[in-house]
Amino acid sequence: EIFGDRLFVTVPRWRTGVPASLNYVNLKDNSTKSPKLIPYPSWAAHTPGPDGKPEIVSPFRIRADKCARLWVLDNGKIGNLENNTTKFLPSIIIYDLKTDTLLRKYVFPEDQVKEESGFANIAIEDTDCDKTYAYAGDLGKPAVVVYSWEKNESWRITHHFFHPDPLACDFSVKGHNFSWTDAIFGIGISAPNPDNFSTLYFHPMASYNEFAVSTEYLRNVSVA
């Protein structure tokens, strides 16, 4: 993700030994050498606290909105590819990109996180800076968690379109055959439509189809 003269890069803690999982590269750096990753917003944000959890655990996708905020979808897992995975509740962390300060950290309620949950992608509907919505896809237990900036609350929506297509789960890469059953993964959002809602585009990782839904439906808490 690019904002101003910075390119933001996530390094998920899939294995131990990752010092900082959210970084940036200075685009004004004209060096011919590989650029250094600079921890964002600081080293302190990646340092474990008394409970063993840093402010930022393990983000995957991030988004900068038109309101100069960086939205970080933190999966909350350390060591996904190891036997001793450490799990914290997923969260959405929002930073002010003008001051590089923490605006808010919203931890998902326990009832919106399932045993198999894995949050990897996020879309931001920033038509109104005070009424921004975030849409986080759960690829492990098919769902979309909708977060309201104004209300500072979230709700979980399920639908069979979020599930992987059983006919699209067989993969073959260089002679290696395997089954891949990730659910909703790709997420994108349109500009506002005439009704002032946007269209959320999405697809499961294992699927041949692209789907779309109006955010008018997703914003409706009663469908959760």
Domain end marker among 107, 128, 145: 107
Give the number of domains in the chain.
Answer: 2
Out of 107, 141, 174, pick the residue that ends a domain: 107
What was the pLDDT predicted at 73? 98
First-to-last C-alpha distance (Å) of the chain: 30
pLDDT at 82: 83
Do 76 and 152 have their domain in common? no
Residue 161, SS3?
A: helix
Determine the pLDDT at residue 32: 86
Q: Are 148 and 103 in the same domain?
A: no
127 and 98 both lie in a single domain: no
DSSP string, 201-223: EEEESS-S--EEEEHHHHT-GGG
d(Cα 61, Cα 92) in Å, to the nearest integer? 11
The C-alpha atoms of residue 142 and residue 183 are separated, in whole angstroms, by 5
Residue 213, amino acid: V
Residues 120 and 219 in one domain: yes
Indicate if 120 and 102 belong to the same structural domain.
no
pLDDT digits (tens, 9 = 90+) for 19-63: 999 999 999 988 888 889 999 999 999 998 888 889 999 999 999
Residues in the chain where the model's pLDDT stays below 50: none
- pLDDT number for residue 51: 81
Q: 216 and 188 in one domain?
A: yes
Q: 126 and 212: one domain? A: yes
**Is the domain of 123 the same as that of 199?**
yes
Q: Are residues 55 and 142 in the same domain?
A: no
Same domain assignment for residues 144 and 201: yes
Q: For residue 176, what pLDDT is reported?
A: 93
Token digits of residue 91: 């969260």
Res 31: pLDDT: 84
CB count, 10 Å around CB of 173?
Answer: 8
170 and 100 housed in the same domain: no
Q: Which of 90, 107, 124 corresponds to the end of one domain?
A: 107
Task: Report pLDDT for 53.
Answer: 85
Same domain for 168 and 84: no
Which range of residues forms the domain containing residue 44? 1-107
Residue-wise pLDDT for 89-99, tens only, equals 999 999 999 99
